[in-house]
Amino acid sequence: MNPERYESKIETEKSPAPKILKGAPEFFESREGVEREDKGPLYLMMNLETKCSYRCPKCALPGYRRDMNEPMSLDQRKKFLAKAGELGIKELVVVGAGEPTEHFDGMMKPIIESAHQEGLGTIMFTTTSHLTREQAEFYRDHDVSIFVSLDAIDPETYRELTGTGNLEQVLNNIQMLKEVYGQSEEVINGKKVVRLGINVTAVKQNMEQLDEIKKVASDNMQFIVNFPIRRGKFKSDKVWQRLVGDQYDELQRLAQDKSDTGGHSSIDEGVCSYFNRGISVDVDGQLLSCGYASETAHSLGTVTDESTLNELEEHYRDIRARYKQFTQETGRTPSCPLRDEDYQGFLDQLKKE
């Protein structure tokens, strides 16, 4: 099918204005100023038990097959969000396991409401597979910035990369989100503040489509191209060869080149800020070094109702200090420790007494 047929459904007006996502570190720093030497946590990356009906061959499947305890209860999560607010955390980040729009009532709605009540916005990644206008209005009214995952602009590739996804439905949902969220008038550091984004995971199949996908973002969505993380389903050689093969370096280059941020969806000092400025917790309350880093579970502590602000702050500072040590020892500052060739070296650093 012809991509232009789909393009015509979307506003394609171009804007030279650079964009900044509401919820990015620069957004808060320019608003409130920042103590450069002693940066506190901004993000709480929380994995939730949100099963997903898509079958993406790339899916990183955080938490899959790990020794998982009972999920945190809603009440425990609410208490934790209250502590996050007291710690000065500004955003709940829902990137990890599963599809949030499939679990609105009983899961996303009360959690986002609670985050909002504690003064936190939410950054949420979604395919929009089960998005409704009612949900979109709720997200708009509860300070949710949304990244839509869109890995292709032609229906066949989209289906190949998602297993069951329907591109036309997703493009209609993007249009609906744009209408519901409207145009922002806010400008920070000469950049237009936006609350919507598109996130592409670059693979061989979509390398040639990135500019077309970017047009969907038009002037009211940030455009991010991410490069693959080799975990979950990507651990399979067959899948990796089919989607990445010998193009990994090129995909990484494209991600830097095409993203509005120059890399990940949120960057702080050249490093993914959900990691560098965040605390991550898995479905069962295990602290992780990042939402995808399941192998760090059962080694960094567990969030309980008794966890104190001091303990959480200490955990945050400890991970930062160990990452700093790692960068000093290797002489490199990878933007994503998980994707680094010496990730094991970072894991070893986390284990040191």
Ligand X SMILES: C[S@@+](CC[C@H](N)C(=O)[O-])C[C@H]1O[C@@H](n2cnc3c(N)ncnc32)[C@H](O)[C@@H]1O
User: Among the candidate windows 85-93, 229-237, 246-254, 323-331, which touches ligand X by CB under 6 A?
Assistant: 229-237
Q: In the bound complex, what is the minimum distance in angstroms from residue 41's beta carbon to ligand X?
A: 21
Residues that bind ligand SF4 (CB under 6 A): 52, 54, 56, 59, 98-99, 127
Distances (CA, A) of 349 to 288, 319, 343: 14, 9, 10
> Of all residues in this chain, which one has the CB nearest to ligand X in the complex?
149
Q: In the bound complex, what is the minimum distance in angstroms from residue 8's beta carbon to ligand SF4?
A: 26
Name which of 201 and 276 has its Cβ closer to ligand SF4.
201
Name which of 99 and 284 has its Cβ closer to ligand SF4.
99
Q: How many CB atoms lie within 10 A of CB 1?
A: 10
Q: With binding defined as CB under 6 A, does residue 229 bind ligand X?
A: yes
For residue 353, what are its two tokens?
A: 């007494």
> Residue 2 in 3-state DSSP?
coil
Q: In the bound complex, what is the minimum distance in angstroms from residue 133's beta carbon to ligand X?
A: 19
Distances (CA, A) of 304 to 67, 89, 198, 296, 312: 18, 18, 34, 17, 11
270 close to 335: Cβ distance less than 8 angstroms:
yes
131 binds, among ligand SF4, ligand X, none (CB under 5 to 8 A by kind): none
Name which of 145 and 307 has its Cβ closer to ligand SF4.
145
Of 266, 283, 321, 254, nearest in space to 96 by CA: 283
Separation of alpha carbons 242 and 257, rounded Å: 23
Burial of 234 (0-12, 13-18, 19+ CB in 10 A): buried
Question: In the stretch 73-112, what mask flags binding to ligand X with x, by CB under 6 A?
Answer: ----------------------x---x-------------
178 binds, among ligand SF4, ligand X, none (CB under 5 to 8 A by kind): none
Reported as half-sphere exposure (CB side, CA atoms, 13 A), residue 129 has a value of: 23
Name which of 51 and 238 has its Cβ closer to ligand SF4.
51
Residues that bind ligand X (CB under 6 A): 52, 58-60, 95, 99, 125-127, 149, 199, 201, 226, 228-229, 232, 234
